[in-house]
Structures are given as structure tokens and as C-alpha cells.
């Protein structure tokens, strides 16, 4: 994002920034011209380029080792059951 912000500052507009960004970073995907202004506005509002500085959407759930172990055990059980069912020949 820093590269986009610097290019936007140098270009002076979103459309000019697209052209300049494409020239400077040929191997990268070129963002939409409005993206440059959004990044600059976000920096002014939050004083940070870090998107996490703003709360967005539903909060993440806490990862608990016991829950992870339960999930992994369920996956393993399902894989075992699936393997077992696939070895049983269907009745005709």
C-alpha cells in the first residue's frame, strides 16, 4: 500500500496514478483508480496504513487449543469413515 500511496502523491489523481503505477510496477496487478484515493483517505482518518486500526465487521472468534483438537479429531473421524465406506462394495 505504501507504493500506491507514493505513486498517488506523485501523480496527483487516481487516473494518473493508475498509469504511473503500471509503468513502475509492470509485474503487479494495477488497482482501480478509486483505490488510490481510498488508501489516502484511510491514512488521513486513521494515521495508519494498517487496516486493522479500524474495526471491521464481526469480531474474530478466539482460537482455543481444545476446540482445535476437537475439530481435527472430527475431521480425522470423517476421513476414516469415508475411507471405510469407499472400500465397501455396493450391493447390486
Model pLDDT, residue 24:
92
Which tens digits make up the pLDDT trace of 79-91?
766 666 656 656 6
Enter the pTM of the model.
Answer: 0.51
User: Which range, of 21-25, 63-67, 71-75, 87-91, averages the lowest pLDDT?
Assistant: 87-91
The residues, ordered by sequence, that sit 6+ positions from 19 with a Cβ below 8 Å of its Cβ are 11
Distances (CA, A) of 57 to 6, 13, 52, 54, 83: 29, 30, 11, 10, 39
CA dist list (Å): 22 to 10, 39, 56, 88, 90: 14, 17, 30, 57, 58
pLDDT in tens, 11-62: 999 999 999 999 999 999 999 999 988 888 888 888 777 766 556 667 666 6
Q: Where are the domains of the chain?
A: 2-49
Amino acid at each position: 500500500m505504501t507504493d500506491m500511496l507514493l505513486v498517488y502523491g506523485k501523480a496527483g489523481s487516481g487516473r494518473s496514478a493508475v498509469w504511473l503505477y503500471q509503468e513502475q510496477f509492470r509485474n503487479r496487478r494495477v488497482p482501480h483508480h478509486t483505490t488510490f484515493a481510498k488508501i489516502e483517505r484511510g491514512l488521513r482518518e486513521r494515521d495508519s496504513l494498517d487496516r486493522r486500526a479500524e474495526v471491521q465487521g464481526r469480531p474474530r472468534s478466539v482460537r482455543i487449543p481444545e476446540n482445535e483438537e476437537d475439530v481435527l479429531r472430527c475431521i480425522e473421524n470423517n476421513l476414516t469413515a469415508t475411507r471405510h465406506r469407499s472400500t465397501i462394495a455396493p450391493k447390486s
